[in-house]
Structure 1
């Protein structure tokens, strides 16, 4: 027999006094609990990034892991007579599985096309190993000094819960920002293996034979070396995975916390016309900009709101790529544009990458632009709504990621649009990108319903080319509604972001006196496909198309009852 059966306290030969030995066991409980919670949070965060819908991913991970912990506790009963050896083996395996889980999950997504099966599998395995820890630790601590079961359980769970607190705080504030998801998980595994090895290979070394001791030392050493070696390959692994996801033409990749901004294709926005790959900009794996699609999307979001009234002060929500900002700055009467954007990685690329700068016309260099990217968009808008000049924006433009339960549902909620309404000046308008109207009609019409529930008058309109885009134009209830049918009665002054020179561009359905000037601006800012902005006639048709497919009876989305 490798371990001695359960013995009286004096049979446990320790290299330190019993009190110190007991403290070391409780310290290992603390460390193992912190590592276990990091694995759990790592799985939730990465699955939310890869799959989306963080509520579902968190529910899957937590429920599967809690169930598996119960199974692991039952299975560990058979190891109590070999508690030291069992605990060392469990910790080595947990360090390997938990430390490598993030990399394996990312690999499954990149090369197998999905991560859900891997997510469930790792949640089950990690949960079982975490569940096996407590019965074995209870046995080891009783070997040092016998005490009543209630007192021993209280001590172990106190160390366990405090460790979970520290692990939960270290993940978002230390591991994620400084090491990233993959390296952070690998380093956590190293710490986990070290904690298990110290307890058994030093503190309880007399409980195992020399042969087993060397075997455990070799196993723990191999696990630690493997995890440390993995940290050296993280960068090349991420490049290979990005190539698999984005098609092998990744030019720039920037990570900020859990967010990732990626540029693919040729850096010249016009090169696709001569057979090169179009410049494409992805944020968190979702395509935001393609140079081959031209300015249809951004112009169709911006111009209907800008041409229906005053537009001296504009608030832009999202739009880190700068293309919607480029459209806004074409208007000579714009005096101030406030950009609320939380994605620092995307902002840096939009300001520094030659390709994106060519597309957005160096919009961020315009002196009329003020950027705020501290905190999330909801809190940023709340601060603006409480400011002394609240209710002073003529136009609010929402160029945010499509609504989902994951992390953007609050930005399409009744409460959020209530803040938007407070930010609007009398007669102000708001334009919202509400997702694909044909592909996800329920989501699109829920956004429109939610806008109306916040006291805004709405006019939806839908594009089919170059992709399925759904928009909603809205205004405050105490001002005239957004007149899509009157959009052709206006002319609007445009300016290039680079020069600031104003030009008049006609908005009639046919070519007008300003058509040439509008074309000059388009060429100055990088160009694109032949699909330009909607003409007034096309805009009216887009509005009728939307009304023809309207879904009724949908409840609005709120912070407490997200409907997306």
Structure 2
């Protein structure tokens, strides 16, 4: 009885571990897609639906294997450990060198789902061989261990594996655990069901799988550096993965002329040092032409917009709200960035809050004369909320009487519907707007909205502030849009529940 009990505990413990590993593989695919593609909802839908479908197919395909359930389970776990452990690495390679990420993701989700689906029928048969019991009780025991294991995997992935190992090494480590758990159960509890040849094949296969996963783990850092560099034209001088995004800084190698420093977040260009002043002058200075003693910056963690604000000696205080503390640390310490932002974060007038801007605004304690909204483009579900009616309503509430706000609004040329959706949403929030656009060679034509509560704000520049890219004449011309890029007037307002701007942006940017 004691021996049977121990065998059942060992099997259920293996179910627990394998379930945790399976959910980690699933979450790793979703997370990688959200980092590389930016469409969290779309990536999650693809991965979850395909894997659930494949799990059903895997369960059917496992039926003929139940006669040799122990050996089949060990083989399934070794293949699953190998492919699941290598999944992130292989998909990253497909993205970096082959531009075949989505087909590779579909294939990987189907294969992993099939292998995961084959586990339960085989484990059920193995559980019954230890001790026969009613089907309902056996299913309850098995699924209880499976679901609790999935809970562990779901919590361990974001809070343990990603912070300690990162995506590639984390998946490889889980693959090794998966292989040990599956093979360990079979070679101990079910060793009597294996012939000498089967044992030798399994042990040999385990050595190969362990060697591949271990070798990949040792080479993962070099692989990631090489793959990342393949995505960027210029040498990568800094790269890090944070809980929120991948931060990459590149610097061109120039034999003559000015070096070009570029910042990328999740692969999207944030600025080029050659022409970033054109973007930041256009975004900041029209808003500063009125009262500007108290300034709020939402986003803009690189400090370049902050640099422009701090040129005004009568600015009393600037509060900057940035989600990712890593980008603030980089802007404070990286010599290339501190040279560009002129050590803006060292100015005693600057107060930094590392919080989600939406959440922070709900409890904003002050009112501000100027608000600069410098958020990443609305090309993902995470950023679309920062272009919503609800968000702009919170920003409007934080404006002091007579205050003005400037909103980074994307490209009126490449994504005109997304651009004008920003205007319609600002107006729906009770703000009066003036749209304008400037040329930023690294981006193309880029647009902003100047907004105020009481009346349509005058688009003007503060007197006595010399600028490199703007004067009164060019700013006046910036309000003129060609006929094919004017507001069609019938675009929907973007909200939290219906982030229509996300659809506009995706549809339009696919053309370029």
TM-score range, shorter chain: over 0.9
Moved more, 545-554 or 227-236: 545-554
Question: For 1:359 and 1:405, how far apart are their aligned partners in 2?
Answer: 28
Residue equivalent to 2:498: 561
Following TM superposition, by how much is the alpha carbon of 1:114 offset from its aligned partner in structure 2, in angstroms? 4.0
Q: Taking structure 1 as reference, are residues 282 and 465 closer, same or farther at Cα in structure 2, changes over 3 Å only? A: closer
Residue equivalent to 2:56: 70
Residue equivalent to 1:373: 354
Following TM superposition, by how much is the alpha carbon of 1:465 offset from its aligned partner in structure 2, in angstroms? 3.7
Are the aligned partners of 2:261 and 2:272 in contact in 1 as well (CA < 8 Å)? Answer: yes
Residue 295 of structure 1: SS of its match in structure 2? Answer: helix
Question: For 2:409 and 2:33, how far apart are their aligned partners in 1?
Answer: 24
Tell me which of 453, 472, 475 is aligned to 2:449. Answer: 472
Residue 468 of structure 1: SS of its match in structure 2? Answer: strand
Question: For 2:62 and 2:154, how far apart are their aligned partners in 1?
Answer: 26
Tell me which of 323, 334, 340 is aligned to 1:342. Answer: 323
Moved more, 26-35 or 534-543: 534-543
Question: For 2:215 and 2:196, how far apart are their aligned partners in 1?
Answer: 28
Alignment of 1:333 onto 2:314 = yes
Residue equivalent to 2:344: 363
Residue equivalent to 1:438: 413
Q: Taking structure 1 as reference, are residues 282 and 126 closer, same or farther at Cα in structure 2, changes over 3 Å only? A: same
Tell me which of 189, 200, 216 is aligned to 2:175. Answer: 189
* CA RMSD in angstroms, aligned pairs only: 1.7
Following TM superposition, by how much is the alpha carbon of 1:347 offset from its aligned partner in structure 2, in angstroms? 1.7
Following TM superposition, by how much is the alpha carbon of 1:167 offset from its aligned partner in structure 2, in angstroms? 0.6
Following TM superposition, by how much is the alpha carbon of 1:344 offset from its aligned partner in structure 2, in angstroms? 2.4
Question: For 1:114 and 1:316, how far apart are their aligned partners in 2?
Answer: 38
Q: Taking structure 1 as reference, are residues 258 and 313 closer, same or farther at Cα in structure 2, changes over 3 Å only? A: closer
Residue equivalent to 2:474: 538
Normalising by structure 2, report the TM-score.
Answer: 0.94
Residue equivalent to 1:295: 277
Are the aligned partners of 2:300 and 2:306 in contact in 1 as well (CA < 8 Å)? Answer: yes
Alignment of 1:95 onto 2:65 = no
Question: For 1:382 and 1:231, how far apart are their aligned partners in 2?
Answer: 44
Alignment of 1:412 onto 2:387 = yes
Question: For 1:377 and 1:235, how far apart are their aligned partners in 2?
Answer: 33
Superposition pairs of residues 210-249 of structure 1, within 5 angstroms = 210-247=196-233, 249=235
Are the aligned partners of 1:344 and 1:373 in contact in 2 as well (CA < 8 Å)? Answer: yes
Residue equivalent to 2:507: none
Map Cα deviations across residues 426-447 of structure 1 (whole Å, 9 max, x no partner).
1111111111111111211112
Moved more, 445-454 or 459-468: 459-468
Residue 543 of structure 1: SS of its match in structure 2? Answer: coil
Question: For 1:536 and 1:129, how far apart are their aligned partners in 2?
Answer: 66
Residue equivalent to 2:510: none
Moved more, 254-263 or 408-417: 254-263
Question: For 1:276 and 1:469, how far apart are their aligned partners in 2?
Answer: 23
Moved more, 355-364 or 228-237: 228-237
Residue equivalent to 1:20: 6
Question: For 2:140 and 2:430, how far apart are their aligned partners in 1?
Answer: 54
Normalising by structure 1, report the TM-score.
Answer: 0.85
Are the aligned partners of 1:398 and 1:430 in contact in 2 as well (CA < 8 Å)? Answer: yes
Equivalenced residue count is 498
Q: Taking structure 1 as reference, are residues 434 and 64 closer, same or farther at Cα in structure 2, changes over 3 Å only? A: same
Please tell me whether Structure 1 or Structure 2 has the larger radius of gyration of its CA atoms: 1
Residue equivalent to 1:284: 266
Map Cα deviations across residues 206-235 of structure 1 (whole Å, 9 max, x no partner).
011011112111212321232122121111
Map Cα deviations across residues 361-406 of structure 1 (whole Å, 9 max, x no partner).
11111001111114x222222232xx3x3xx111111111100233
Q: Taking structure 1 as reference, are residues 359 and 108 closer, same or farther at Cα in structure 2, changes over 3 Å only? A: same
Question: For 1:276 and 1:439, how far apart are their aligned partners in 2?
Answer: 28
Residue equivalent to 1:463: 438
5+ residue gaps in structure 2?
503-512
Residue equivalent to 1:382: 362
Map Cα deviations across residues 44-91 of structure 1 (whole Å, 9 max, x no partner).
111111111111111111111111111111101110101001100111
Question: For 1:204 and 1:80, how far apart are their aligned partners in 2?
Answer: 14
Map Cα deviations across residues 124-154 of structure 1 (whole Å, 9 max, x no partner).
1111111011100110001011111111111
Write out the 4+ residue segments of structure 1 that deviate beyond 4 Å after TM superposition.
Answer: none
Residue 271 of structure 2: SS of its match in structure 1? Answer: strand
Question: For 2:276 and 2:201, how far apart are their aligned partners in 1?
Answer: 63
5+ residue gaps in structure 1?
1-13, 492-503, 506-514, 519-531
Residue equivalent to 1:104: 90
Question: For 1:132 and 1:258, how far apart are their aligned partners in 2?
Answer: 34
Question: For 1:52 and 1:344, how far apart are their aligned partners in 2?
Answer: 20
Residue equivalent to 1:429: 404
Residue 382 of structure 2: SS of its match in structure 1? Answer: coil
Question: For 1:259 and 1:31, how far apart are their aligned partners in 2?
Answer: 29
Residue equivalent to 2:509: none
Superposition pairs of residues 45-84 of structure 1, within 5 angstroms = 45-84=31-70
Following TM superposition, by how much is the alpha carbon of 1:240 offset from its aligned partner in structure 2, in angstroms? 0.4
Are the aligned partners of 1:176 and 1:258 in contact in 2 as well (CA < 8 Å)? Answer: no
